[in-house]
Amino acid sequence: MVVKCSTYVCGIDAGIDVVGGKWKVLILWELQARAMRFGELKRALAGVSEKMLIQHLRELERDEVVHREVHHEVPPRVEYSLTEYGVTLNEALGPLGAWGREHKERLEKIRRVAANVG
């Protein structure tokens, strides 16, 4: 895994670096209510590959947004949950989600028109 060590230009730069990628925001959304096992997350995120889910979970864990807890039992059980830091990130994403809900239909229409033109 490549660890990006850079100075951020602004807060948006830092925030986007943490949530960048198709699945990270959706992972955060799923974990907002409760801890989940890997298989539960995979089923909840239709279309995500196992490799991509593992990669995004590792990056979110590295950034201390997600906590990975291994329960030493047979069979082994691993659960993922939001850290307090992750909860604050989800709260920050709330207005973006509200904006998306408000403009979802318009965006879908724009994208359909663009797809038919090209």
Assess whether pLDDT exceeds 70 at residue 39.
yes
Residue 50 forms part of a structural domain = yes
> 3-state SS of the chain: helix, strand, coil percent to 5?
60, 10, 30
Residue 58 forms part of a structural domain = yes
Separation between Cα atoms, residue 86 and residue 19, nearest integer Å = 11
Residue 99 forms part of a structural domain = no
Residue 111 forms part of a structural domain = no
Residue 103 forms part of a structural domain = no
The domain containing residue 35 runs over which residues? 11-91
Residue 46 forms part of a structural domain = yes
Separation between Cα atoms, residue 18 and residue 25, nearest integer Å = 9
Q: Write the Ramachandran bin of 64: left for phi over 0, alpha for psi from -120 to 50, otherwise beta.
A: left
- Extended strands (E) in the chain: 36-37, 66-71, 77-82
Read off the pTM.
0.84
Residue 21's domain is classified under what CATH number?
A: 1.10.10.10
pLDDT single digits (tens) 60-95: 999 999 999 999 999 889 999 999 999 999 999 999
Total number of domains constituting the chain: 1
